[in-house]
Amino acid sequence: MKTYVVTDSHGKVIGSARVEESKSPDVPFGAIPVAAMPGQKVHEVDLPKELHGVKSADELHQHLAKLIKGGK
């Protein structure tokens, strides 16, 4: 599942959005659903299946930070 991650100017994860492709031909897909402010950056990652059920934003952001730093 595509996940967009926003980091601050120090590389700390400050937000994320999971995106599933729409099954409807009437719904466009491909636009990045988040925006970054000056000094922030948006990263696109493929969320590993084992993280799909994570409910805690803090826990998810810890895993996402590792994915981004690992260059995966």
Residue 49 resides in a domain: yes
Query: Which amino acid, residue 32?
Result: I
Residue 9 resides in a domain: yes
Range of the domain at 64: 2-20+32-69
Residue 25 resides in a domain: no
Closest to 44 measured CA to CA, from 8, 22, 14, 18 = 18
Pick the more confident residue, 27 or 58: 58
Alpha carbon 27 to chain centroid, angstroms:
20
Q: How many separate domains does the chain show?
A: 1
**What does the mean pLDDT of the chain come to?**
85
* Of the candidate ranges 3-7, 10-14, 15-19, 42-46, the one whose mean pLDDT is the lowest: 15-19
Residue 63 resides in a domain: yes
With 90 as the cut, is the pLDDT of residue 26 above it? Answer: no
Cβ-contact 64, 5 below 8 angstroms:
yes
Residue 26 resides in a domain: no
Pick the more confident residue, 40 or 28: 40
With 60 as the cut, is the pLDDT of residue 72 above it? Answer: no
Residue 27 resides in a domain: no
- Give the contacts of 11 (CB within 8 A, at least 6 positions apart): 65, 68, 69
Sheet holding 2-7, edge to edge: 13-19, 2-7, 41-46
Give the confidence band of 31 by pLDDT, cuts at 50, 70, 90. low
